[in-house]
Each structure stands twice: as C-alpha cells, then as structure tokens.
Amino acid sequence: MVADDHTLFVDGLCGLLALQPDFDIIGKASNGKEVLHFLNSRLPEVLIMDLNMPILDGQITAEKIVGSFPSIKILVLSMYNAPSLSTRLKSIGIKGYLPKDTDADLLFSVIREISSGNYYFREKEKYIPGLNRFAETDAFLKKYNLTHREIEILKLISENLSSKQIASKLFISLFTVDTHRKNMIQKLKLSGKTDLIKFAIQNNLWQKQF
C-alpha cells in the first residue's frame, strides 16, 4: 500500500511497483485517515508512507498502525530529513526510511528486505540479514508486548520527567503520553510509576538499543 498526498507521485510509484512480479498494490491513500480506514478491511504486508500528509500525518498514523496492526511493516519514503529522524522512526516501530530521490532498484530491494523482517535506514547504516543488531530488543518488545514508543516514554518516565515534559520532548499530545503509560502498567501488570521505573532498571533499558 502507498500513502502520499501527491497523487501523481503515488500513481507513478504504484506503476513502478506493479512491474515487479512479486509485488501487488492493494491500496492507495492521500492521508493518514484514509490509511486507517482502508486497514479496517484489508492489511498490506508493507506500507510505504510519507511523513508529511494532511488531516492525519505520517508519524501519528504510524503510531496507530504499530499499536493496532503490528504485522504491517512501514517504510517511510519522504523528503523530510533531520539528524534524529532515524532514532525517532525506530522508536515508533517503523522498519525503514528512504529519501524520495532514491532510485527504483534500491527501493525494490529495501521493500523486500523489510518484508523479510529486517531494517533499512538510508542516512544511517543498512541492517543486513543475520547481522540485525535489533533482534535482541525486538525479542524483548515481543516478550512484554511493548512498542518502541512505549519504551521511549518509559525511559523518560524513569528520568523523572512529567507527562507534560515527555509530550513536549517527543512532540506528541499529553493524552498520548498518559495513554501509553496506562497501557504499559496494564501490559506489565504493575501498579504505577514507581513500578515502571523499577521495571526499567531491572531490565537495563538504557543499555538496550531500540
């Protein structure tokens, strides 16, 4: 599935992808709201998505998808770039990032790699099958049914930041922070903030790379 608010770009990209015998395009969307609506009826294996979209942007959309449809592997294809971009995308649970000026052959290769469960972030390093440094932490997340975003928030909670400070730091709403906090307490069967901090310390979260 491809999601971008530029119709010509989406049509052109889908045309290229359709030429590959192992790819099937099952859906298109111009904003995050359309993506989520589509997912109520059918799930793609890989979602190629821009970050900058109207109505519901790519980051918020990705957070919702990772929480509700964890089997979908998200590849961000965007012109947006920043030194902290890869870290932020990984914390959400996105599998890869490529700039929009990427050549088609690389895009095809990355889609296949992500589909196989690996990572690829263009401005960083390529995560090669068999050498995936995130395998251990992915197993940790699966064990406790946690997301990258929840771990990111948990680390900040452990630094004694308030929900308001965390929301500001991560550019998300206060409601989102509190929701993640409640979800973690429920998933881990804990009683509150103190237990969350103990969990973080006992599992050496600061030494794990998410």
**Window from 126-140, 146-160, 164-178, 191-205 with minimum mean pLDDT:** 126-140
Residue 44 pLDDT class (50, 70, 90 cuts) = very high
Percent of the chain with pLDDT over 90: 37
Residues 15 and 103 in one domain: yes
Mean pLDDT of 170-199: 90
Q: What is the DSSP string of 2-53?
A: EE-S-HHHHHHHHHHHHTSTT-----EESSHHHHHHHHTT---SEEEE-S--
User: Of the segments 92-101, 126-135, 152-161, 176-185, which one has the largest average pLDDT value?
Assistant: 176-185
Domain count within the chain: 2
Residues 116 and 151 in one domain: no
Residue 73 has pLDDT above 90, yes or no: yes
Residues 14 and 93 in one domain: yes
Residue 159 has pLDDT above 90, yes or no: no
Give residue 78's region: left, alpha or beta (phi > 0; psi -120 to 50).
beta
Q: At 111, which CATH number?
A: 3.40.50.2300
pLDDT tens digits for 47-61?
Answer: 999 988 888 888 889
Residues 104 and 78 in one domain: yes
Chosen domain end from 121, 148, 174: 121
> Does 12 reside within a domain?
yes
Residues 153 and 192 in one domain: yes
Q: At 172, which CATH number?
A: 1.10.10.10
> Does 126 reside within a domain?
no
Residues 105 and 147 in one domain: no
| Domain span including residue 64 | 2-121
Q: What is the pLDDT of residue 201?
A: 85
> Does 129 reside within a domain?
no
Residues 28 and 104 in one domain: yes
pLDDT tens digits for 110-123?
Answer: 899 899 888 888 75
> Does 68 reside within a domain?
yes
Residues 104 and 167 in one domain: no
> Does 106 reside within a domain?
yes
User: Of the segments 48-62, 75-89, 145-159, 180-194, which one has the largest average pLDDT value?
Assistant: 180-194
